[in-house]
Amino acid sequence: MSLDPHKYRQDFPILSEKIYGKSLVYFDNAATTQTPTQVTDVLVEYYNKYNSNIHRGVHYLSNKSTEGAENARLKVQKFINAAHSHEVIFTAGTTESVNLVANSFGECYISEGDEVIVSEMEHHSNIVPWQMLCQRKKATLKVLPFNDEGELMTEKLGDLITDRTRILAVNHISNSLGTINPIKEIIDFAHSKNVPVLIDAAQSVQHKKIDVQALDADFLVFSGHKLYGPTGIGVLYGKEKYLNEMPPWQGGGEMIKEVTFEKTSYNELPFKFEAGTPNYIDAIGLGAAIDYVEAIGLDEIDAYEQELLAYATAKFEAIPSLRIYGTAKNKTSVISFLVEGIHFYDMGMLLDQMGIAVRTGTHCTEPVMQHFGIDGTVRASFAFYNTKEEIDALFVGIEKVCKMFGVKTA
From the candidates 108, 134, 364, 402, give the one annotated as an active-site residue: 364
Residue 364 is among the residues annotated as catalytic for this protein: yes
- Which residues 6+ apart lie within 8 Å of 172 measured at CB? 180, 181, 183, 199, 200, 201, 203, 204, 208, 210
CA distances from 248 to 40, 271, 300 (A): 32, 10, 39
Q: How many CA atoms lie within 13 A of 141 on its CB side?
A: 20
Amino acid code (one letter) for 200:
D
β-strand partners of 25: 356
Compute the distance between CA of residue 362 and CA of residue 346 in angstroms, rounded to an integer.
Answer: 15
Burial of 214 (0-12, 13-18, 19+ CB in 10 A): exposed
Nearest to 334 by CA among 312, 315, 356: 312
Question: Which of the residues are catalytic?
Answer: 364
